[in-house]
Every structure is written in structure tokens, then in C-alpha cells.
Chains A and B, each alone.
Chain A
């Protein structure tokens, strides 16, 4: 007989992280409304979603649009494989309107 562990019912907040990048503090601070931050995975054809709790990645998932909804499909739930390399990034400034 297995005993149920009530600790497993504790609530945690899961975040869906679509990209993880490293950028200089000054570039982060300089982001302004309407600026567009582009990120791109260093490897792979699609962004990979990280499900994170606090600082830990608990699973990786692919994402796809299904019937207009964004759906994540778990592809890996072993933390030891979760250490992916960060994505690349660049910032585009909005263009002022022209005549």
C-alpha cells in the first residue's frame, strides 16, 4: 500500500517561457514601448517552450497552433536534459510614420 503525500498538493506557479536570452542590462533598460525584441533559437527550426517553476525547468515542449489556440506538447520532462543554450536576440525600433 502506498501512502499519499499531502505535500504533493502544494500549489506552485508554472511559467511558460518561450525564449531565454542573455542581454546587457543597458539594452534591457533601453527597451521602449513599441520596440520589438526578436529572439531566435540557436538550434532547431522552432522555438521550444520551457515550463519553469522558480529557477527550475521542469519540462520542454514544442508549440503549435491548433484550431486557433496555442498548444504545447511535452517533449521532455527530464530536468537533466532541460539545460538548453540561450536564444539569440536583437531589438528593432519602430519606424516613425512617413508622409
Chain B
């Protein structure tokens, strides 16, 4: 007769799964920092796609078996697979349908309906906007991975279903990086998953910390206010002429077609200036940067 001993009230012990990755805590912290940077970068770059003043937040790192992950792919979600050759890592970015819908609505200034949010579908143009958003996100992800030494994303391709990627076996462990837009209750989530070897491709050095400090400094510097003049035009005259100016005198001005933005008399951008009541509009021109 065979017998098993089970602790009272406990679950049957499971065999240790030898293929589970061993993660050093320090590497885990570095990996999480990298993806906090990714969230910051997305928030900055994707401002035109994000509803209101919402930002990307990195929720955390977890490990899941591909089989389980694959089973929960929602309807309307978008999958893009990629490889990081340098680190010999494969991965994918998964955007849920409601995230795609939210990005499209914000980008195209569409007032969404509850029905559209519940079952997102996209027109051809809207799908173009979703793909462009994903392209921008992958570009920022790639930039960050290059900066931290993981390598550049390559071999990018769209895939309708996760199961069709043929890049992962059902039992593969994935490092799963979850991001959300806005509050957790909004349920707007984007997931990046990498083969779990990615975490061991991260080296324990000071590079991340140094870069992060630089990034914080960059962020602070970016918020410094700059006094910007919207200039219709400029002309040369003498001080004598200026001294003669009196209230009521009239000057014919440039029409604003060739206006510019300037800071401290340094031209920054060319633009076309128009007036609409008390509002002044300057449309940026497709011109080379001036400095």
C-alpha cells in the first residue's frame, strides 16, 4: 500500500522546477529601474496619445509561463514581437484593445462611447494610429535598452495572436513587465515580456544609477521656464527714429507669414502667425532647426 504525508491543511508539495530562473535581487532592482525609465520615456514621448494628463506607470516585474500568458490575450489586443540579438533575448509588447482605443481617442480627439470601450474595434486609419503609437513605444524601449547595454530591438513584426509567434514554447518562463496608463482602476495596461534570460543579461554596475541621475537632472532642466517671444518680424532703424515715436504713431508690420519664436533674441523656430480675436496662433513651419 502506498501512502503520502501531507501537512494538515496544506497543499501537496510541488516538485521544484529546475528550469525556473534564479534571479539575484540586485539584478531585479536594476531591471525594475530600467523599466521605470521606459515608463518615463513613454510618458514624455507619447504625450499626444495619452488621455488628459495621464502618464505611463511601471507596475512591476513578474514571471509567468508563456502558456498561461497566452491563454489570457484579450480581444482587440495588439502584439508585436521582437528580438534583442545582443542579449539573445526574444520578447513581445502586448497592448490591450482598450488601451489602443484610449490612445486613438486621445490622438484623434474622439469622444468614446461605452460600447466602443467595451468591445474595441478600429477603422483602417485608427489602426494606423495604433501601429504608429506602438512603433514610437518600441523605439523608446529600444533606445533605453541600448543605453543600458542590453542592445537594440530588431526583427520586429506584428502578430495577431500570441500563439502564432512561434518564438516561445508553452513552458517558457517570461520576465513580464507590466505598465499602466493612469490609475490602476482604469485598467489601461501595456505589457512587455522578455525571455527570462534577459534579466541575467543586465550587469550589476553603476551605469543605470548614473544614467538615472542624469535623466532626473534632464527632467528638472526640462521644466525650467524659458521666456519665449512670438515675433512678427524685425527691422533696422536709428535710435533717433525710435526717440520720435509718440502715442498714435502708426507702423506697418510684417504680415506674420515669416514669424518666429525667439528666446533672448535667438531664433528657435520659424512659424506662420495668425490672429483670431484675442488669441494668437503660430503654426510651426517644416523648417530646419535654426540653431
Give A16-36 as 1s and 0s: 1 = Cβ < 8 Å from B's Cβ atoms.
111111111110111111111
CA distance A12 to B238 in the complex (A): 6
Instruction: Report how many residues on chain B are interfacial, defined by Cβ distance under 8 Å.
Output: 67
The stretch that binds A, out of B8-16, B18-26, B185-193, B224-232, is B224-232
- From 246 to 278 in chain B, residues with beta carbon under 8 angstroms from any chain A beta carbon are 246-256, 259, 261-265, 268-269, 271, 273, 275, 277-278
The A interface, classified by DSSP as helix, strand, loop or mixed, is strand
Give B220-244 as 1s and 0s: 1 = Cβ < 8 Å from A's Cβ atoms.
0111111111111111111110110
CB pair B253–A70 under 8 Å, yes or no, is: yes
CB pair A70–B232 under 8 Å, yes or no, is: yes
CB pair A95–B223 under 8 Å, yes or no, is: no
Give A63-99 as 1s and 0s: 1 = Cβ < 8 Å from B's Cβ atoms.
1000001111111110000000011000001011111
CB pair B224–A99 under 8 Å, yes or no, is: no
CB pair B129–A28 under 8 Å, yes or no, is: no
CB pair B282–A11 under 8 Å, yes or no, is: no
CA distance A1 to B12 in the complex (A): 113
The stretch that binds A, out of B55-63, B134-142, B198-206, B283-291, is B283-291
Chain B residues with CB under 8 Å of A87's CB are 280
CB pair B227–A20 under 8 Å, yes or no, is: yes
| B170 sits at the interface (CB 8 A) | no
Between A and B, 10 residue pairs with Cβ closer than 8 Å are: A14-B234, A16-B253, A19-B229, A20-B229, A28-B226, A39-B282, A46-B277, A70-B252, A86-B227, A96-B108
Residues of A within 8 A of B (CB): 7-26, 28-41, 44-47, 49-55, 58-59, 61, 63, 69-77, 86-87, 93, 95-99
